[in-house]
């Protein structure tokens, strides 16, 4: 449902001058958020184009006929496990289609490019919190597809100094908008907080915890959950950063501290008042014990200030959305 993209477009709509064109093939979900977003813009300032980024000729037609100042590129496949089973699907969609977009940017003079990267570029962390200089050793094709895209963006910048990019390395994105208009839904849903909320609602029989024997305080994995509205704001900051003539770079997006899977489950139980079933399964391959961002760089260089750094707020917004 273009989860992160929808919330970012909602944030962009706060500036009345902004015109937005959304391109999506809806392989990741439904059309619900498009009608919500359309209402936020004046007539003529919002366009939706149903298009697969691999359709090069149609993509080129769009760029030839439009004048874009910036590209914010969210489109990707994002299931780590599937990327191990079907790596070419990931390299084709996440890396090759990113090349298509960079190609359009260079050819049609779109000089600002914001890229949705991931903590998966780091692989198994050797230090926590993880800073941007941490070695990049992805342990699955999803992470590698993102890291390759970042390197291609760097090469594109080197060859064309007018073209500049920001890669935002998201940690675990979660939650819904505070006004309840947009939430999180993926097809299929694989993200922890919606899955827990669905368990509390009885839409799932139980929540499965993959591994309770990690070297963490309660044995479950620790992740840095960032509220979707704080992440949406990071994209606006990234556009400002580029417009202020700063150099291309990559930035972590997280709060700098994490919560365990059991802590998140307990929080949703508290908020919902429902004591749902929790099953323990063996560890999944490639799940590091901890993924926590060092966010110093985005805070100091972009002036990004989070407003929802609170697990209760994140889970509450997700719960309210899931109940609708
Ligand atoms: N959600 C997270 O926690 C998280 C964490 C790290 C990185 N990311 C990255 O953030 C980005 C957005 O993630 P999301 O959670 O919003 O996922 P999402 O599935 O909600 O959004 C991705 C959108 O891309 C579209 N898409 C995919 N391939 C396309 C193609 N070839 N042509 C046109 N549209 C296409 C899908 O239909 C979907 O609407 C992805 O690049 C993902 O890898 C997400």
Q: Is 234 exposed, middle or buried (0-12, 13-18, 19+ CB in 10 A)?
A: buried
- Beta strands in the chain, from DSSP E residues, in sequence order: 20-24, 46-50, 70-73, 112-118, 164-170, 172-174, 206-210, 222-223, 225-227, 249-253, 259-260, 277-281, 290-291
Beta bridge partners of 165: 113
Q: Whose CA is nearest to atom 7 of ligand 1?
A: 118
Could you tell me whether strands 259-260 and 222-223 are parallel, antiparallel, or unpaired per DSSP bridges?
A: antiparallel
Residue 16 confidence class, pLDDT cut points 50, 70, 90: confident
The whole-number pLDDT of residue 161 equals 92
- What average pLDDT does the structure give for the chain? 96
Residue 56 structural domain: 3-323
What is the CA(254)–ligand 1 centre distance, in A?
18
CATH number of the domain where residue 66 is located: 3.40.50.720
Given the CA of residue 97, which atom of ligand 1 is nearest to it?
31
Atom of ligand 1 nearest to the CA of 119: 6
How does residue 304 score in pLDDT terms, banded at 50, 70 and 90?
very high
Say yes or no to pLDDT of 311 above 60.
yes
Domain count, the chain: 1
**Is pLDDT at 256 greater than 80 in this prediction?**
yes
C-alpha 93 to ligand 1 mean position (Å): 10
| pLDDT at position 1 over 60 | no
CA dihedral 127, 129, 133, 137 (to 10 degrees): 60
Give the integer Cα–Cα distance in Å for 297 and 308. Answer: 19
pLDDT of residue 29: 66
Q: Where residue 30 falls among pLDDT bands split at 50, 70, 90?
A: low
Res. 283: pLDDT tops 90? yes
CA dihedral 175, 180, 182, 185 (to 10 degrees): 50
* Active-site residue, selected from the candidate residues 90, 142, 170, 225: 142
Ligand 1 contacts (CB < 6 A) are 1-5, 23-29, 52-54, 74-76, 78, 93, 97, 116, 118, 170, 172-173, 186
Taking residues 213-232, what's their average pLDDT? 97
How much distance in Å is there from the Cα of 73 to the middle of ligand 1? 9
Which residue's alpha carbon is nearest to atom 21 within ligand 1? 2
Q: What percentage of the chain carries pLDDT values higher than 90? A: 93
142 is catalytic: yes
Minimum mean pLDDT range among 100-114, 144-158, 161-175, 179-193: 179-193
Instruction: Select from 37, 67, 320 the least CA-distant residue to 193.
Output: 320
Closest residue by Cα to atom 26, ligand 1, is: 75
CA angle at 297 for the pair 163 and 19, rounded to the nearest 5°: 45
What mean pLDDT do residues 87-112 have? 98
pLDDT above 70 coverage of the chain, percent: 99
Taking 3-state DSSP, the helix, strand and coil percentages for the chain, each rounded to the nearest 5, stand at 40, 20, 40
pTM, two decimal places: 0.97
User: What's the start-to-end Cα distance of the chain, in Å?
Assistant: 16
């Amino acid at each position: 449902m273009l989860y992160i993209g929808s919330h970012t477009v909602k944030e962009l709509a706060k500036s009345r001058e902004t015109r937005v064109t959304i391109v999506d093939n809806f392989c990741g979900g439904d059309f619900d958020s498009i009608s919500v977003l359309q209402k936020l813009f004046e007539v003529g300032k919002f366009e939706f184009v149903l298009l697969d980024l691999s359709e090069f000729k149609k993509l080129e037609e769009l760029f030839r006929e439009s004048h874009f100042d910036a590209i914010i590129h969210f489109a990707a496949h994002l299931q780590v496990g599937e990327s191990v089973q079907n790596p070419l699907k990931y390299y084709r969609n996440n890396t090759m289609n990113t090349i298509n977009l960079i190609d359009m940017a260079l050819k049609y003079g779109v000089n600002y490019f914001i890229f949705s990267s991931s903590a998966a570029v780091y692989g198994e962390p050797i230090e926590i919190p993880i800073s941007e200089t941490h070695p990049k050793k992805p342990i699955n094709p999803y992470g590698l597809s993102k890291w390759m895209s970042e390197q291609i963006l760097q090469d594109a910048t080197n060859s064309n100094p007018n073209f500049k990019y920001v890669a935002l390395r998201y940690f675990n994105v979660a939650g819904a908008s505070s006004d309840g208009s947009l939430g999180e839904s993926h097809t299929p849903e694989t993200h922890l907080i919606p899955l827990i909320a669905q368990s509390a609602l009885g839409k799932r029989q139980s929540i499965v915890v993959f591994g309770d024997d990690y070297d963490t305080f309660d044995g479950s994995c620790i992740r840095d959950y960032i509220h979707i509205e704080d992440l949406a704001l990071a994209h606006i900051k990234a556009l400002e950063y580029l417009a202020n003539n700063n150099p291309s770079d990559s930035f972590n997006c997280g709060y700098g501290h994490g919560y365990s899977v059991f802590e998140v489950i307990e929080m949703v139980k508290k908020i919902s008042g429902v004591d749902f079933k929790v099953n323990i399964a063996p560890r999944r391959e490639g799940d590091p014990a901890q993924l926590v961002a060092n966010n110093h760089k985005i805070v100091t260089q972009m002036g990004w200030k989070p407003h929802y750094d609170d697990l209760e707020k994140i889970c509450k917004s997700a719960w309210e959305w899931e109940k609708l």
